[in-house]
């Protein structure tokens, strides 16, 4: 069953189960999708914000993108685990494992990029949305920041055998930028 084909209760049960999936990458994607939804809602509730329609559309586009990434991440993660376990049993398959780990790093990096974009959009919405919506947007930015940090740690973990890989530094930069955006979002609601 696909990640988004489950009802929320089933998804929460699957996350808490002893199965390795859905893991941190997929869960980060779900959190980002929810955060993007909060921003879309905040924008839709803000008729006096001139850019509200565009912000809502951007949030919806980010939500759709990260939903696909989360599903792909869950699948890639399970495939990488199967390859690693199979290699331990029959030996070798370094090239296949390397490719699987490469994919397992690329997807969390893309998830971190989405998280940064959502945090940035949350900061913008927190400055312009109506009361209540602004706080939702700020919360969305904070959630996206946490997901960016989680995704960045997955990139590093999946590339631990490739010292100096630029993708690790890129993921860390995205997480730091998401932190800055989340701080701006929270500060915007404190001033309001």
Given this model, what pLDDT does residue 192 score? 57
Tell me the per-residue pLDDT of 79-91, one tens digit each, with 9 for 90 and over. Answer: 888 877 776 555 5
- For the beta carbon of residue 170, count every other beta carbon within 10 angstroms: 15
CATH number belonging to the domain at 23-191, selected among 3.75.10.10, 3.40.50.1820, 1.20.120.680, 3.30.470.20: 1.20.120.680
The yes-or-no verdict on residue 164 having pLDDT over 90 is no
Mean pLDDT of 28-39: 97
Give the pLDDT confidence score for residue 14 in this predicted structure: 92
| Residue in the block written with tokens 């089933």 | 10
Compute the C-alpha angle 163/166/170, nearest 5°.
130
Residue 101 has pLDDT above 90, yes or no: no
């Amino acid at each position: 069953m696909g990640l988004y084909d489950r009802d929320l209760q089933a998804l929460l049960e699957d996350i808490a189960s002893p199965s390795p999936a859905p893991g941190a990458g997929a869960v980060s994607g779900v959190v980002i999708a929810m955060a993007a939804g909060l921003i879309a809602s905040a924008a839709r509730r803000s008729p006096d914000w001139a850019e509200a329609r565009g912000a809502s559309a951007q949030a919806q586009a980010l939500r759709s993108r990260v939903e696909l990434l989360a599903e792909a991440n869950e699948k890639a993660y399970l495939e990488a685990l199967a390859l690693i376990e199979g290699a331990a049993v029959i030996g070798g398959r370094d090239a296949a494992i390397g490719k699987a780990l490469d994919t397992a790093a690329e997807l969390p990096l893309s998830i971190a990029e989405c998280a940064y974009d959502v945090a940035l959009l949350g900061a913008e919405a927190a400055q312009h949305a109506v009361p209540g919506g602004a706080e939702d947007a700020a919360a969305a930015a904070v959630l996206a920041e946490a997901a960016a940090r989680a995704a960045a740690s997955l990139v590093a973990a999946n590339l631990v055998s490739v010292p100096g890989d630029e993708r690790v530094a890129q993921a860390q930069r995205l997480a730091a930028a998401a932190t800055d955006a989340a701080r701006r979002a929270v500060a915007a609601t404190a001033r309001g």
